[in-house]
A and B are shown apart, each in its own frame.
Chain A
Amino acid sequence: MKKTFPLLSILLIMAGCSHSSAPGGASASSVAVPNYFHVDAATAGTISGSVHFSGQRPAKKTIEMSNDPACVNANQGAVYDDSMIIDDHNGLADAFVYVKSGLEGKTFAPAAAPVTIDQHGCWFHPRVIGVQVGQELDVVNSDPVTHNIHPMAQVNHEWNHSQGPGDPPMKRRFTKQEIMIPVKCNIHNWMHAHIGVVDHPYFAVSASDGSFTIPNLPPGTYTLEVWHDHLPTQEQQVTVPAHGNAKINFNFKAK
C-alpha cells in the first residue's frame, strides 16, 4: 500500500472543481446621416441687438450657503442671487434669444464644438446656456465639493448625475428642442441654470451689457423670441437681407 501512495496522491491532487462566470456583452448601432441644409456664406446675414430692462430693479436677494462651508469659502463675503443682472445702462444679461420661426423645413448639422457648463464656486457657469439638438454638452465640476447636476427636462429625458471633486467631465446630448430646461443642483439648493435646446444653430445669450449676435443666417424673415428667467417672453419679427445686418432690440419694463 505504501508504494501506491505517490500515484494515488498525484491522482488525488489533480482532483478539482471548475467554475466560470460570463461577462456582459456590448452592442453597436448606426444612424443614417440626415440631409443637412448648407448655408451660402456669400448671402448669409447677421441679426444683432440688445436686451434692456428699465424701471424699478428687483431688490437683491442674499443667498444662504452655510449648508456647505466649502461653498461659503469659495465666495468671499455676502452672496447675492445672480438670476437678474442689469448693468448701469439697463443692459440685461442672461436673456436667451433664438429664432422661433422662419427656418421650417431646414435641418442643420449639430455644431461640432461642445459647449461647457462648469460647476465652480458653487454656481453654474454660465447660468444660461444654449445648445443645439445633438450638440455635446460638457459638464465640468471644478469645485472641491460634490455636485449633482439635474436638468429637469420635460420634453427631453430628465437626468441627474453626481460629480465629485476631480471627477472627469461628463458628456451629454439633448435630442429634442426644449426652451428652456431648468437645471438645479440636487445638493446645493441655490444653484440654478437654464439650458435652451434649439434644433438649429441660431440662438444667443445676451452679454453683461445686454448685447447679442446671431450670425450666418440665410436671408429671410424670422420671428425671434427672447426668454428670461424672471420675465414674460417677447417676440419680434425681423428681416435679414442678403449679406446684410438686421438690428433688433428687446425692452422689458418693470411692472
Chain B
Amino acid sequence: MSASKLKSAMIVGILALLVGCGSSEKDRPIGAVVAISVPLGLPPVPIPADNVPTAETIALGRKLFYDVRLSNDNTQSCASCHDSKLGFSDGRRLSIGVHGLAGVRNAPTLLNAAYLPLQFWDGRAASLEMQTALPIQDHREMDVSPARLLFRLNTDATYRAMCEKAFGSRLLDMVEVEKSISAFERTLLSGDSPFDRFYFGGDKSALTAAQIRGLLIFQDPGRGNCAVCHSIRKNDALFTDGKFHNLGIGVGDDESLTDNGRFGQTGTASDTGTFLTPTLRNVALTAPYMHDGSEKTLEAVMDYYAGHGNSNPYLDPEMTKIHLSAQDKSDLVEFMKGLTGAMPQQAGPPTKE
C-alpha cells in the first residue's frame, strides 16, 4: 500500500468514526418493509421514521439478540435476562451479568416494550434504540466496548452478509446494531389474552367468574385502584400509564430509599423513588416483582398493596386509596392470570443457517 493510499484510507476511517454515533442515510434499512401485525388488545406499534422494520433488520436483530458475543466474556446475550421462555424476563430477583456480577434492578419483560415512551425502570432511554445500547456497555451487564463488539461481529462473514442486506453497508456499526435489535424487539408483541378476548373481542366466556370480579376490583378506584396506573383504554390496553410512581419499595429504617429511581435522571425531588409503571400483560410469567424483585409472588404483591406499601415522603397518594379483602386479593390474582397473552412468533433463537 502506498503512503497516499494509506493516508486516504485513514481519512475515510476517521470519517466513519465520526458518524458512528449519529443516524445517517447509511444506517437506514434498505430491505422490504415489514408491517408488524398487532394482536387483539394492542394499539399500532410506534415506528421511528429512521428505523422502519424490514425482514432483514428483524432477522439481524434476532441473531444479535441471542448472541453471547454481545458480552465481554461471551456468557450473556440479551436473552440471558430476557428469556423467551420466561416472558422475556429472567425469573431472578436481580439479574446476573458478566463475570457473575449482580445487577441492581429486576429485568423487565420486553414483551410490548415497543409501546413505552421511555425505557428502563427509571426511563433513562427515550427509545428502544437508545435502550439497546446501554446494557451492552454497562459494566454489570454485558460490559463490551463498541470497538471490541464490532470487531467480533465484523469478523464474522454471516454478520457482514446480513448487514449488507439490511443496511447496504459492508460492516456493522453501533447504530445498525441498535437499530436491528430494536426492529426485532418491535416484533415482541403479546396480546390476545383471555382478558382481550373478553374485553375487546366480546367473548363473555373468555374470563372466569373470579377473573371478571377481579377486573371490576382492578378498575374500582375505591378497591383495587389498579387501573389508575395500569391503564385500560377504550380500544386497547397497555396496562401501564408510561409514567413514574413511588410505591414505597426499598424504604429503609429512616424512610430513605435504597434506589431513588427516576430522580437519578431528572433531579426533581418529586421523582424520588419513582419507577416506571410496568405492564401487567404476562405478569403471571414474570415473577419476582417490583423494581428490586422484592416481591416473590402475585399474592405477595397484593398483600403489599393491601397494606398501602411503605410510607415515605414521596409515596404516591393513590396507594392509600386501596381497600382489598382476602377475596378481592384472590380475585385480582386470578384476573392477572387472564393477562397472559399469545407469545410472538419467530421470537426464539434463530436456527443455524
Which chain A residues have a beta carbon within 8 Å of chain B's beta carbons? 3-4, 7-19, 21-24, 67-69, 145-148, 150, 158-162, 164, 170-172, 185-187
Question: If A15-B174, A21-B264, A160-B308 touch, does A8 touch B133 (CB 8 Å cutoff)?
Answer: no
- Residues facing A in B1-36 (CB within 8 A) are 1, 5-6, 9-10, 12-14, 16-17, 19-21
Give the shortest distance, in Å, between A148 (CB) and chain B (any CB).
3
Which chain B residues have a beta carbon within 8 Å of chain A's beta carbons? 1, 5-6, 9-10, 12-14, 16-17, 19-21, 124, 133-134, 137, 145-147, 149-151, 154, 171, 173-175, 248, 251, 253, 255, 260, 263-264, 295, 300, 303-304, 306-311, 325-326
| Contact, CB under 8 Å: B326 / A16 | no
Give the shortest distance, in Å, between B328 (CB) and chain A (any CB).
10
Give the shortest distance, in Å, between A22 (CB) and chain B (any CB).
7
Chain A residue nearest in CB terms to B312:
A159
Checking B133, B173, B309 against A19 with a beta-carbon cut-off of 8 angstroms, the contacting residue is B133
Report the Cα distance A50→B295, complex, angstroms.
Answer: 46
Question: If A7-B6, A161-B310 touch, does A15 touch B146 (CB 8 Å cutoff)?
Answer: yes
Q: Which residues does chain B contribute within 8 Å of A148, judged by CB atoms? A: 306-309
A-B pairs with lowest CB-CB distance, top 9: A16-B146, A148-B307, A11-B13, A15-B20, A146-B303, A186-B307, A14-B147, A13-B151, A13-B150
Interface SS of chain B: helix
Question: If A17-B20, A17-B174, A162-B303 touch, does A8 touch B260 (CB 8 Å cutoff)?
Answer: no
| Contact, CB under 8 Å: A67 / B325 | yes
List, sorted by A's number, 5 A–B pairs whose CB atoms are closer than 8 Å.
A7-B1, A11-B16, A146-B304, A159-B311, A186-B308
| Contact, CB under 8 Å: A162 / B310 | yes
| Contact, CB under 8 Å: B253 / A11 | no
Checking A4, A170, A185 against B5 with a beta-carbon cut-off of 8 angstroms, the contacting residue is A4
A13-B154, A16-B20, A24-B264 given. 20 additional CB < 8 A pairs? A4-B5, A8-B12, A8-B16, A13-B150, A13-B171, A14-B146, A14-B150, A15-B16, A16-B174, A18-B137, A19-B133, A24-B263, A145-B303, A146-B300, A146-B304, A160-B309, A162-B304, A162-B309, A164-B304, A172-B253
Task: Find the residue from A10, A23, A24, A147 having the highest chain B CB count within 10 A.
Answer: A24
Q: Which residues does chain A contribute within 8 Å of B19, judged by CB atoms? A: 15
| Contact, CB under 8 Å: A164 / B174 | no
